[in-house]
Amino acid sequence: MVVAETSPPRVFISYSHDSPQHEERALELSERLRKDGIDARLDLYTPWPAQGWPRWMEQQLARADFVILLCTATYARRVTGDEEPGAGRGVCWEATLIYNELYHAKLDSNRFLPAVFDEASIEHIPRPLQGHPWFQVGSERGYEDLYRRLLNRPVVSPAPLGERRRELPSRRDRVVPRPLPEASATVPPAPSGAQKFFISYPHGDPDEENLARFLHAQLTAAGHEAFIDIGMAAGIDWVKEIRHRIDWCDQLVLLISEKSMRSEMVQTEVRLARHRQLQSGRPGILPVRVRYLGPLEYELELHIGHLQHVSWEGPDASQHVYEQIERASRAGPTAAAPNAGPKGTEAAKVPDEPARPEAARDTRTASAPGGTIRWDDPFYISRPADGVVQECATRIGQTVVIKGPRQVGKSSLLLRYLHDCQQAGKRLAYVDFQVFTGHDMEDYPRFLSRFAEVLSHRLKLAISQPIAIESQFDMVRFLEETLLPAATGPLVIALDEVDRLLGQPYQTDFFSMLRLWHNNRSPLTPEYEDLDLALVISTEPYLLIDRADRSPFNVGLKVEMKPFNREQCVELNTRHDDLLRSDEVLQLYDLLHGHPYLTRLSYYRMTAIDKISFADLIDGAAAERGPFGDHLRSLLVKLHDRPDLLAAMKQVIFSSDPVELDLYYRLYGAGLVRREGDRVRPANALYARYFRNAL
């Protein structure tokens, strides 16, 4: 429905009287719309209609240009007739009128606009409107989207019309633009010579969302097929569609900004694309830097740091970016985009923007001998394990095993341990198995060769030819004859993401070799006496090696990392200048159960430039696009990769039946569950709420 610019749109707000607070929010929305030039109406303005409520409601619905439905669980019950007898008669009457119009098409159904104050309420949108756009009016961006809809003002205006082309291709050669395929539909083949594009961008950044929409429109108009995940439903179907589209596309267009670069979902999509690329040679990855030319996040640097990029500094550059992408795509499916800006240039920092916590600690600083390891984070909360590893770092010939679920602080503790080792005069050889590709780990000789190569690189050894390790015996000789003599003093070999070897046919042999290195510290083999080992794992050791006498995980110093306790959460709040009241700190603890990364992320969400209130953080916590949505969607994708773990997680959520022990330990290692007495439960209330809806 289009409303003339000269007359203000008339809007009727339909809502249920859930609580005084909800009634107040409905009134605040109406008052704000009226202040912004929208003629909003609701029942609070006419408490005693002379014609009676049914007739008054019928008139309001008939005269309104738009009807906003504030959807909640109570509203849904009353709309569907599931409310207690005698309760909510007004909403039930409105629903009858609205349903009649929708089903009988008396009026344009597009004038009915579902709205929610938090994304968790979208499941309560009435069924006839579930395919329609909805608006999260509890957020500033959601309100702006609603306001644009009421005024019929799109986010992106069409480009001005150019001159008509004088020459046209023949009908036989013509490429006809195709509309965006529906999610989960069978994807038709692209026109001859066209490319298929997946546009990856994080939600919540207006610049990136507008650029994504622009590129989608331009690419499809040019006869290509392009996919963006706007309007897709949440849950397993969404995950399947994302994976399907990455397998389907020829090019992944990756939008990166300073704030979005650490998006876990962006990292996940790039990881999937890179894995697919190593298997089949496609898709190509085309990075677009959105007002950011600084260093990349650790994992993105591993995957795309070598690629050239195109820069976007504002809307005037959108057409240029599109043309660069077009040119790069014509060069072939694995081509990189042209470099339109100097690599490594530092981007200007946003004033007063707090540092966003990283989902995984950036350990690149541990790679270079003599480099300064970042360990002095002002928000780092020390736990008993810190004192243990600090004391261990001063001794020589130690084996340290740091164990705990993902994102609980293992890599941060490792960095502090390596910092103390460095201060004690030890040399460091840090190996992150995350950098190993599937090709690197294809067989044991190839894996050992890559392992030896990385160790040599960390010690800055001048190796004139590729290292070829044919057997485990060759690896032991390489350590004894090349690596240990080159260290010329105490050496720490630190292995992170050791769980990457889980499931490899040679995992028992490799861990047996590490146990051999530990056992060789003796007067008979003095070259080993100055060797320290540090191993970081997430899962239970017996899954990695089932022979206790050959395991490196049951010797030396064992440190287990756990979530923050209540006192540590209070300490973190103190470091943030007592941002929350004591009862709010406990409420946050009850939601996250002390999850270190998510707890710190919460404070970032409440202090960043686009900060949200504590109430909004709690209300929208489990929402698909809420404050933790990026993290939650990334977990869902990882679960989808393992059907056995997905089934086990469903069992934890929906059943009281015991979970198979191996599957429990794998879920625990992923940080998804915890044991409470004899019961296995989701690791925190946030995961319980999210996966109950997503699975």
213-260 pLDDT, tens digit each? 899 888 988 888 988 876 555 555 677 888 888 889 999 999 988 777
Comparing CA positions, the residue from 143, 107, 109, 149 lying closest to residue 129 is 109
**Strands across the sheet with 39-41, in order?**
39-41, 10-14, 66-70, 112-116, 135-136
Are residues 586 and 500 located together in one domain of the fold? no
| Same domain for 478 and 525 | yes
Cα angle value 371/376/378 (rounded, 5°) = 155
Contacts of 235 (CB under 8 A, 6+ apart): 636, 693, 694, 695
Q: Kindly provide the b/e burial profile for residues 244-281, where b requires at least 16 CB atoms within 10 angstroms of the residue's own CB.
A: ebbebbbbbbbbbbbbbbbbbbbbbbbbbbbebbeeee
Q: Give residue 40's pLDDT band: very low, low, confident or very high (50, 70, 90).
A: very high
Closest CA to 318 of 425, 229, 459, 212: 212
Nearest to 577 by CA among 603, 610, 612: 603
The lowest-confidence range among 178-187, 315-324, 508-517, 562-571 is 178-187
Tell me the pLDDT band of 271, cut-offs 50, 70 and 90: confident
CATH of the domain at 257: 3.40.50.10140
**Are residues 645 and 551 both part of a single domain?**
no
Residues 373 and 323 in one domain: no
Q: pLDDT tens, 524-576?
A: 888 899 999 999 998 888 777 878 888 888 888 999 999 999 999 999 999 99
When pLDDT is averaged across residues 448-470 and rounded to a whole number, the result is: 89
- Select from 401, 431, 404 the least CA-distant residue to 417: 401
Token digits of residue 612? 């949200």
Both tokens of 119, joined, read: 């994304």
d(CA 600, CA 573): 9
The rounded radius of gyration (Å) of the Cα atoms in the chain is 29
Q: Are strands 673-676 and 679-682 parallel, antiparallel or unpaired?
A: antiparallel
Q: Which CATH number goes with the domain that contains 388?
A: 3.40.50.300
pLDDT of 348 over the 50 cut: no
Convert the pLDDT of each residue in 83-140 to its tens digit: 555 554 445 566 666 666 655 544 456 788 899 988 777 778 877 776 677 888 888 8
Pairwise CA distance, residues 504 & 443, whole Å: 8
| Secondary structure of residue 232 in the 3-state scheme | coil
Mark whether 430 and 524 lie in a shared domain.
Answer: yes
pLDDT in tens, 274-322: 888 877 888 989 999 998 888 787 678 777 877 888 889 888 889 999 9
Same domain, 528 and 570: no
Enclosing domain of residue 91: 10-151
Residue 172 domain-assigned (yes or no): no
* Residues 518 and 381 occupy one common structural domain: yes
Handedness of CA 209, 210, 212, 217 (dihedral sign): positive
Instruction: Return the residue matching tokens 């997680």.
Output: 649
Other Cβ atoms less than 10 A from the Cβ of 233: the count is 14
Segment holding 532, helix H or strand E: strand 531-537
Quick one: pLDDT at residue 17?
Answer: 82
Runs of H (alpha helix) within 105-248: 140-151, 206-221, 236-248
pLDDT for position 199? 92
Do 408 and 316 sit in the same domain of this protein? no
Report the domain count for the chain.
4
In this prediction, residue 611 carries a pLDDT of 86
| pLDDT exceeds cutoff 70 at 78 | yes
617 shares its domain with 671: yes
Percent of the chain with pLDDT over 90: 29
381/508 same-domain check: yes
Residue 574 neighbours by CB under 8 Å, 6+ apart: none
Tokens of 267: 């990292």
